Amino acid sequence: MKYLIDTDIASNFAKNSSTSLKLKMLENVNDWAISSVTYHELWRGLMQTNSEKVEEIVTSFLSNVRVIDFDEGDARESGRIHAELIKSGKQIGDSDTLIAGQAIANHLILVTNNTKHFSRIKGLQVENWMK
């Protein structure tokens, strides 16, 4: 596996909003997964909606993706990132810190549309498939 898909990309793919993103993800279907943190964020969003269509789309997406469980190594790396960002005064959200830590710990490239946000993290490789 080579890529970890961030929540914003997974959400866009699930909603089928970008043909170029869909093609890129299908071309690399055996090379990417989502974090259990992203799974949580998508499921949380689903629980906050009353749309049967959104529920069907997200449920279908989640049932067909590979999920990497967040483990102790991921937690240690995320903790290091969080501490560095606090020291530099450039904090990001907790979920983003967890996902970034998991990407680094597992030597994966993070695919996100929020490259500016994640560029604050040393050692994190980032690609944007929305462009």
The predicted model scores a pTM of 0.92
What confidence tens digit (pLDDT) does each residue in 78-115 have?
999 999 999 999 999 999 999 999 999 999 999 999 99
What confidence tens digit (pLDDT) does each residue in 44-81 have?
988 898 888 888 888 888 888 999 999 999 999 999 99
Strands 109-111 and 3-5 turn out to be parallel
Please, which pLDDT band fits residue 36 given cuts at 50, 70 and 90? very high
Q: How would you label 3-36 residue by residue, b for 16+ Cβ within 10 Å and e otherwise?
A: bbbbbbbbbbbbeeebeebeebbeeeeeebbbbb
Sequence spans of domains, the chain:
3-127
CATH class in words for 3-127? alpha beta
Average pLDDT over residues 7-20: 83
Q: Is the pLDDT of residue 17 over 90?
A: no
